[in-house]
Amino acid sequence: MFEDITLKCKECGRDFVFTAGEQEFYAEKGFQNQPQRCKECRQARKNAGKAPKELFDAVCAKCGKPARIPFQPSDDRPVYCSECFAAMKAQ
């Protein structure tokens, strides 16, 4: 029913594909208009007002590798790198 359509981004001027799946999603949500911006420009516009996350340096309590975490580490709780945290969560 739907076919991919190539559109031009009104922000950057690049061509982008409005896929059949995206068109189906738009139809299900009742959206009347096609997107006017490419995915990158939509994402940039969405994040324009947000402050970037502050990351803190820490050392993994399990493997000793450096880790970047989105919260201020405290001495009373261990901090894990993403690999060790994922392994512990999977157990």
Residues in the chain: 91
**pLDDT (average), residues 9-20:** 96
Backbone angles phi, psi at 22, to 5 degrees: -65, -40
Confidence at 8, pLDDT banded by 50, 70, 90: very high
- Residue 3: pLDDT band (50, 70, 90) is very high
How much is the pTM?
A: 0.54
**Chain-wide mean pLDDT for the chain?**
93
Query: How distant is the alpha carbon of residue 26 from its chain centre?
Result: 20
pLDDT for 1 equals 80
Tell me the two tokens of residue 34: 């096609």
Q: For 44-79, how does the pLDDT look when each residue is reduced to its tens digit (9 = 90+)?
A: 999 888 887 899 999 999 999 999 999 999 888 999
In terms of Cα–Cα distance, which of 83, 61, 80, 84 is closest to 69? 80
* Assigned token pair, 19: 């896929």
